[in-house]
Every structure is written in structure tokens, then in C-alpha cells.
Structure 1
Amino acid sequence: MQRFGTLSFGHYGPLGRGRELTAGDSMRQAIDLAQGMDDLGVNGAYFRVHHFARQQASPLPLLAAIAATTKRIEVGTGVIDMRYENPLHLAEEAAAVDLISDGRLALGVSRGSPETVVRGYEAFGYTGSTDPRGADIAREHFDLFLRAIDGEGLAERDPASPFGGGTGRQRIEPHSPGLRSRVWWGAGNRDSAAWAGTMGVNLMSSTLLTEDRGVPFDVLQAEQIDAFRQAWREAGHPGDPRVSVSRSIFPITTAEDELYFGHSSEGEGVGYIDGIRSTFGKTYAASPDVLVEQLQQDAAIASADTLMLTIPSQLGVEFNLRVIESFATHVAPSLGWKPTTAAATTTDDAP
């Protein structure tokens, strides 16, 4: 494990006892937490994206704010639902954040996860899908997005324009060189992972896989990672792609930790998501020495280079920063992690 960061669902709303976390509170706390993590040398702050829900729905302004107020930490998404996106607008915004951050963007995208509404992307104007889950729309949007960030000319210049038209085709602006090497595809099964390898983008894999092969979750996920890397090599892409996995991991070091997470450890399971039989990863909650022993046996963590810790963002900056610092101090070094330093930071860590 070379890197670790946090994956925040960005929930906001009522907290009970008359308290409420507003959308503004959630975003400002996310900025403050990322700044604290940057000081600790934690490698990334990533955000789950859900539309029509009290979560982060349009994360790039938040990522830009974090990038502008930090020095080293990677900022990213896990993942943006491409069914909802205007590919060229997303390409412009992603390039802007990548430039502001000096190449610290890790843009995770995919078909998206289960929603709170029915075919919500159609309300955004993206209709005509022949797939019940809109996968064809996501792939079409993703293809155009990649062409845009690669700098392909996508609109005919107007030679009569008073703003320097010229001839030929114009790419979108701004353009950030190398951005494609910082794009990730969120895959839920081996076929999707292999497709990402063929496309030459990095891989994000979460605590939910939309397949069940009768093997432990971490083994199934490691097989997915192997399929991705094999497809990458067979496609002839240079370098080594990055791979991330996410886990719910809570070091218990205080009575407060015990109160919140002492009974949170649960085994992996199998269920149905969007009508597909799926495998769910387990939650790890134990003392640091027990966590080290458990996580060293996790085949997918051993295979990935980046670990994303899901965090209870509703519990505030101070609590989450303490949990993250506890993991960084007592658990992560035994998995091979070293904190980021200014000298070690580069703007092109991806393939």
C-alpha cells in the first residue's frame, strides 16, 4: 500500500436532537478536514457523488477549493456518474481543477451507483438509452470526455470570428496535459475492470462488487484487479496503472471509538443491487494491532497501491481527523505506507 486517503459520502441533513448539518457545513468541513490531512501527509481526499440526494452532487467546485488551500494531497471523486454529465463541460472543469492542483486530480468516473430516483439522468436531459441502467449513455459520454481531454479538435473554427477564429477544429479549453493519466474508472465486476484496462485508465474498486463467484470478497476483488492489469498489458499501454480499493476501517483507541464502532465489525455478505446478485465487503473495527493482522491478510489491499477509507463525515472534522491520524500512526506503516512529504510530491504519479 503506497497511498491512503479518505472516501467521503458527504452526507448532510438532520443529525437528531434538533441539530442539522447543512450542505454548506458539509463542504466547509470537507475543506477543513482535507487541510488537516494534508498536514499529516495523508495522500488523498475523495468524494462519493450522488444526485437527488443529500450528498455531494457537483464535486468539482469543492475539489478546486481543497486544491487551492492544500499543497500535496490528491483530490478526487469515487465516482462521478457519467450518465448525468455533459462530457465537454466535465472536460473543461476537470482540466481547470487539474491545473489549479498542479496535477493532483484523481477523477473517478463510471456508470454510477444505485440511485434514490428512477432513471434520474433522464431529468438531466439524457434520454434514449436502450439499457435499463443507462450503461450505454455512460460509455458514450465517457468516450467523448476522453477525446476532449486528449485535446482532440471537436468544433469547427469560425474564420469570420472577431475573436481569432482561423480554420480547422478547436479543442476545448482549458487543456491540462497528462490529465488522462489521472482518470479512473469505477468497476463493479471483472468485465468492467478489464474494459478499463483496455481503455488505458486507472481502476477504482469499492466495497461492493456486482458479481458473486462463491469466494471471499477480497479474493474476488483481487481477481478483478488481475483482470484489469492483464487487459492493460494486452492493450499495450505503457507504464503501470494505479489501482485503489475502499474499505470501512476504524481503529478503536478510545472509549468514544468503542461507543461508535465497537459493534460495527461485520462480515461480508451477498445481496441484490439493481437486480444483480452482488458481494459486499466487511467492516473492520478493532484495536490497531488486530487491524494490522486482519488487513495484512486482505488480498485486494495487498494488490492495490491506494486504499480509501470511508469516513463518517457527519461526525465532524475533529473526530474524523483523530481517526485518520490513528490509522496513519498505528496501522498504515505496517501495510507499507509512508507519509507524503513536499520533496516526494510530483505532479505525474500516474502511468
Structure 2
Amino acid sequence: MERFGTLSFGHYGPMGGGHRLTAADSIHQAIDLAQGMDELGVNGVYFRVHHFARQQGSPMTLLAAIAATTRQIEVGTGVIDMRYENPLHLAEDAAALDLLSNNRIALGVSRGSPETVVRGYEAFGYTGSTDPRGADIARAHFELFLRAIDGEGLAERDPDSPFGAGGGRQRIEPYSPGLRSRVWWGAGTIGTARWAGQVGVNLMSSTLLTEDRGIPFDELQAQQIEAFRESWRQAGHPGTPRVSVSRTIFPILDEADEARYAASHEREGVGYIDGVRSRFGKSYVATPEVLVEELSHDAAVMSADTLMLTIPSQLGVDFNLRLVEGFAKYVAPALGWKPNWEGQVQPEGIRDVDS
């Protein structure tokens, strides 16, 4: 495990007990948490994207704010729903964010997660899908997005225009070289993982796989990763692609943690998502020593280079920063992780999470 970061759903709204988290609260807390993690040397901060829900539906502004107020941490998504996106507008935003952050982005995209509404992308103006889940629209949008960020000329210059220079077909601006290497596809099956390898983008795999082959979740996910890498090699793409997996992990550091996380234990299981038989990953809730042992036997965690911790962001900055610190101090180093302090004078150490 070379890198780890957090994956936030960004929930806001009624919290129970008369408490309410506003959209503004959620955004400002996300920035504060990212700044704290940047100081710890954590590698990345990533956000789920859901439309028609109290979450981050359009995350680029938030990612830009984080990138502008941090030094090294990677900013990204897991994942942007391509059914809802104008691919050329997204290409402009992605390139601008990549330049602003000095290439510190990990832009995860895919067909998207199950929705809270029926074919919500049609309300955004994207109609004509022949697939009940809009996968054909997502793929078409993604293919045009890749052409745009690769610098392909997509519109013929008006020879009578006084603006611009040169003739021929014009590319989207701004242009950020190498942006494709920082794009990820969120795959839920071995088939889509193979497709991502053929296309030549990185792989994001979550705590949910939309297939079930009768084997443990981590082994199925490891097969997905291997299929992706083999497809990448067969396609002849240069370099080594990145792979991330997500896990829900709560280190128990004291008796208060044990009581706090008592209801968080979840076994992996099988269910149906969008009518498809799917396999769900389990939650890891244990002392650091046990977590190290369990995670070192998780085939997918050991195969991936990046681990994303799904965090309950609605519980606030202090809670989540303590959770991340505990993992960074007591678990991650035993799995091969080193803080992201490239070229800087390292801090004296991660502050004691018990203080």
C-alpha cells in the first residue's frame, strides 16, 4: 500500500437530536479536514458525487478550493457520473483544476452509482439512452471527454474570427498535458475493469461490486484488478496504471472507540443493486494490531497501490481527523505506507491522537 486517503460521501441535512448540517458546513469542513490531512502527509482526499441528493453533486469548486489551500495532497472524485456531464465542459474544468493543483488530481468517473431519482440524467438534458441505466450515454460522454483532454481538435476555427491564431480544428482550452494519466474509471465488474485497461485509464474499485462469483469479496476484487492490469498490458499502454480500492476501517484505540464503533461491524454480503446481484465488502473494526493482520490478508488491498478510507464526514472535522491520524500512526506504516512529505522537512511526528 503506497498511498492512502479518504473517500467522503459529503452528507448533510438533519443529523438527529435537533442538529442539522448545512451544505455550507459540509463544504467548509471538507476543506478543513483536507488541510489537516495534508499536514499529516496523507496522500489524497476524494469525494462521492450524487445528484438530487444532499451530497456533492458538482465537486469541482470544492476540489479547487482544497487544491488552492493545500500543498501536496491529491484531490479527486469517486466517482463523477458521466451520464450527467457535458464532456467538453468537464474537460475544461478538469484541465483547469489539474493546472491549479500542479497535477494533484485523481478524477474518478464512471456510469455512476444507483440514483435517488428515476433517470435523473434526462432532467439534465441527456436523453435517448437505450440502456435502462444509461450506460450507453456514460460511455459516449467519456469517449468524447478523453478526446478533449488529449488535445484533439474538436471544432473548426472560423476564418473570419478576429480571435485566436492559426487555422484548422481547435482543441479545448485550457489544455493540461498528461491529464489522461490522472483519470480513473470506477469499475464494478471484471468486464468493465478490462475495458478500462484497454482504454488506458486508472482503475477505482469500491466496496461494492455489481457481480457475484461465489468467492469472498476481496478475492473477487483482486481478480478484477488482475484483469485490468492484464488488459492494460495487452493494449500496449506505457507505464504502470494506478489502482485504488475502498474500505470502511475504524481503528479502536480506547474504550470510547470500542463503544463508538460497536454498531459499525458489517460482514460482507450479497444483495441486489439496480436489479443486479452484487457483492458488498465488509467493515474493518478492530485494534490496530488486528487491523494490520486482517488487511494484510485482504487480497485486493495488498494488490492495489492506493487505499481509500470511507469516512463519516457528517461527524465533523475533529472526529474524522482523529480517525485518519489513528490509521496513519498505528496501521498504515505496517502495510508499507510512508507519509507524503516529498522533499520537505518532515514534522517531528504525527501528534498523539490520544492527546
TM range (shorter): over 0.9
Aligned residue number for residue 29 of structure 1: 29
Q: How many pairs were matched up?
A: 344
Q: Distance in 2 between matches of 1:102 and 1:228?
A: 28
1:193-213 residue CA offsets vs partner (Å, 9 max, x unmatched)? 000000000000000001100
**Correspondence list, 1:1-351, <5 A:** 1-164=1-164, 166-343=166-343
1:141-176 residue CA offsets vs partner (Å, 9 max, x unmatched)? 000000000000111111111223542011011111
1:37-88 residue CA offsets vs partner (Å, 9 max, x unmatched)? 0000000000000000000100010000000000000000000000000000
Q: Distance in 1 between matches of 2:66 and 2:264?
A: 30
* 1:252–1:262 CA contact under 8 A, matched in 2: no
Give the alignment's TM-score, normalised by structure 2: 0.96
Query: How big is the shift at 1:256?
Result: 3.3
Q: Distance in 2 between matches of 1:135 and 1:164?
A: 37
Q: Could you say what secondary structure the match of 2:184 adopts?
A: strand
Q: Distance in 1 between matches of 2:9 and 2:184?
A: 18
Query: How big is the shift at 1:16?
Result: 1.5
Q: Could you say what secondary structure the match of 1:167 adopts?
A: coil
* 1:219–1:299 CA contact under 8 A, matched in 2: yes
Q: Could you say what secondary structure the match of 1:342 adopts?
A: coil
Structure 2 unmatched runs, 5+: 345-355
Give the alignment's TM-score, normalised by structure 1: 0.97
* 1:41–1:341 CA contact under 8 A, matched in 2: yes
Q: Distance in 2 between matches of 1:172 and 1:284?
A: 44
Query: How big is the shift at 1:342?
Result: 3.0
* 1:292–1:331 CA contact under 8 A, matched in 2: yes
Q: Could you say what secondary structure the match of 1:272 adopts?
A: strand
* 1:2–1:306 CA contact under 8 A, matched in 2: yes
Q: Could you say what secondary structure the match of 2:263 adopts?
A: coil
Query: How big is the shift at 1:255?
Result: 3.4
Question: Percent identity among equivalent residues?
Answer: 78
- Give the letter aligned to residue 8 of structure 2: S
Q: Distance in 2 between matches of 1:252 and 1:9?
A: 22
* 1:248–1:282 CA contact under 8 A, matched in 2: yes
- Give the letter aligned to residue 219 of structure 1: E
Q: Could you say what secondary structure the match of 1:42 adopts?
A: coil
Query: How big is the shift at 1:267?
Result: 1.2
- Give the letter aligned to residue 109 of structure 2: V
* 1:159–1:165 CA contact under 8 A, matched in 2: no
Query: How big is the shift at 1:260?
Result: 2.3
- Give the letter aligned to residue 152 of structure 1: E
- Give the letter aligned to residue 33 of structure 1: L
Q: Distance in 1 between matches of 2:16 and 2:302?
A: 39
- Give the letter aligned to residue 226 of structure 2: D
What CA RMSD, in Å, does the superposition of the two structures yield over aligned residues?
Answer: 0.9
Q: Could you say what secondary structure the match of 2:343 adopts?
A: helix
Q: Distance in 2 between matches of 1:308 and 1:195?
A: 22
Structure 1 unmatched runs, 5+: 345-351
* 1:292–1:335 CA contact under 8 A, matched in 2: yes
Aligned residue number for residue 348 of structure 1: none
Q: Distance in 1 between matches of 2:263 and 2:285?
A: 8
